[in-house]
Structure 1
Amino acid sequence: MNSDREKDIINKVLKGDPDPFGVLVREHQRAIYSLMLRYTGNADEASDLAQEAFIKAYGKLESFDKSKRFFPWLYTLALNIARDWIRKRGREQKVIVPESMDINYHPDDSTSQSQTDKQLDGAKAFDTIMGLGHKYREALILRFKYGFSFKEVASTLEISLSGAKMRVRRGLDMVKDSLMEDNDEQ
């Protein structure tokens, strides 16, 4: 959804019509649910936390800066809810791969060897990313899955711009090193 469409929806909601907010929920629910699932490792908890994120976003919609994109703002709210959930439990949760982000490998006869190799490499890289700590994993997902600018990554993760660049760079280095180790072992 483009930014102008989102701003139009937000204006309608702020003028008293709550129905258009459902469009924003449908547009972003998979990403927010996936975030919560990565943090909780539990589908029911993830669903509850995703719903909490949208309720909070609706309640704070007046504070949204319309000169920015909506999704990074929503993701920041959701990420803070996930962090609070972790703090309340006092432990790091096991990472699971949400269906919406799973990389499936289904070779068939029409798949060339180079395509198969690329699929396998992509799956290995994805598994490696999902195995990183939260701070590196979220930086890479924001940057490469959702296309956030470094400035948006920094704002969402509540770190400096240079910190965002560093987390992405270090995360990529960790993925590269892990993949190189895997190749050396073969």
Structure 2
Amino acid sequence: MADDSSRVDTEAILNGDRAAFEALVESETSRLFHVILRYVNDREAARSLVQETFLQAYKNLDSFRGDAKLTSWVTGIGINIARSWLRKNKREQPIDEDDMERLQPSFRFGRYTGSFEPWDPEQTAERSERKQLVHDALDQLSESYREVIVLRDLEERSTKETAEILDISRGAVRVRLHRARQALRELLNNHFASEFA
């Protein structure tokens, strides 16, 4: 995914230049909308949450520490706002840690004990009914696992940037991503296994 953040003049924004902030809004709105939409699965809510994100970012520019790119900081605000919205509006409970553990592959004497069914998430997500299955499976993951899949696999952010956005270590990103992918594979296996037999 192309990085539009090179067009963002962070220094001008931090110095109160409204035109520079408007350029940030213009360059990041589409990307931020897609990140938030993957969280909330509601286009109208995502549009509203994007506006709220930029409003909060503008109000809190003085709290930007400069540890990460400004665009990563704004994305982090958007994710937090989407999390809050989900807590207020989510009807289904995500998979808990015990269920996540059961969805991990099993090994005996160092050998994988399950049957391997190849699955390419990019290929299968191209058709709309499959996209919905993948989206539904993502919704079943806990917030911490869903967000790492969204940022790394769907938004194609680097491990470093994902760690900055989520304020966790790179190692934690890798572990969560591995566990989330394994859980998704198990959740989707019943739907897709027959097509790859």
Structure 1 counterpart SS, 2:18: coil
One-letter amino acid matched to 1:139: V
Against the structure 1 CA distance between its residues 141 and 118, is the aligned structure 2 distance closer, same or farther, given a 3 Å change threshold? closer
Question: Mean Cα displacement is larger for which, 21-30 or 60-69?
Answer: 60-69
Query: Counterpart in 2 of 1:150?
Result: 159
Distance in structure 2 (CA, Å) of the matches to 1:121 and 1:66: 38
What's 2:126 paired with?
123
CA RMSD across the alignment? 3.2
Q: Is 1:35 matched up with 2:35? A: yes
Structure 2 Cα separation of the partners of residues 2 and 40 of structure 1: 24
CA distance in 1, matches of 2:126, 2:181: 15
- Equivalence for 1:97: none
Pair 1:145–1:39, CA change in 2 (3 A)? closer
Whether 2:171 is the aligned partner of 1:162: answer: yes
- Please, which moves more after superposition, 118-127 or 32-41? 118-127
CA distance in 1, matches of 2:88, 2:177: 27
The residue number in structure 1 matching 2:85 is: 85
Q: What does 1:125-144 correspond to in 2, within 5 Å?
A: 129-130=134-135, 131-132=137-138, 133=141, 134-144=143-153
With normalisation by structure 1, the TM-score equals 0.67
How far did residue 144 of structure 1 move?
A: 2.8
Query: What is the identity percentage for the equivalent residue pairs of Structure 1 and Structure 2?
Result: 30
In the aligned structure 2, how far is the partner of 1:120 from the partner of 1:90? 28
For residues 92 and 26 of structure 1, do their structure 2 counterparts lie closer, same or farther at Cα, with a shift above 3 Å needed? farther
CA deviation after TM superposition for structure 1 residue 81, in Å? 0.8
Change (3 A) 1:19 1:51: same
One-letter amino acid of the counterpart of residue 70, structure 1: L
CA distance in 1, matches of 2:169, 2:133: 25
Any unmatched runs of 5+ in structure 2? 94-119
TM superposition score normalised by structure 2: 0.64
In the aligned structure 2, how far is the partner of 1:166 from the partner of 1:139? 10
- Between 151-160 and 133-142, report the one with greater CA deviation: 151-160
2:18 is the alignment partner of 1:18: yes
Unpaired segments ≥5 residues, structure 1:
94-116
May I ask how many residue pairs the two structures share in their alignment?
Answer: 161
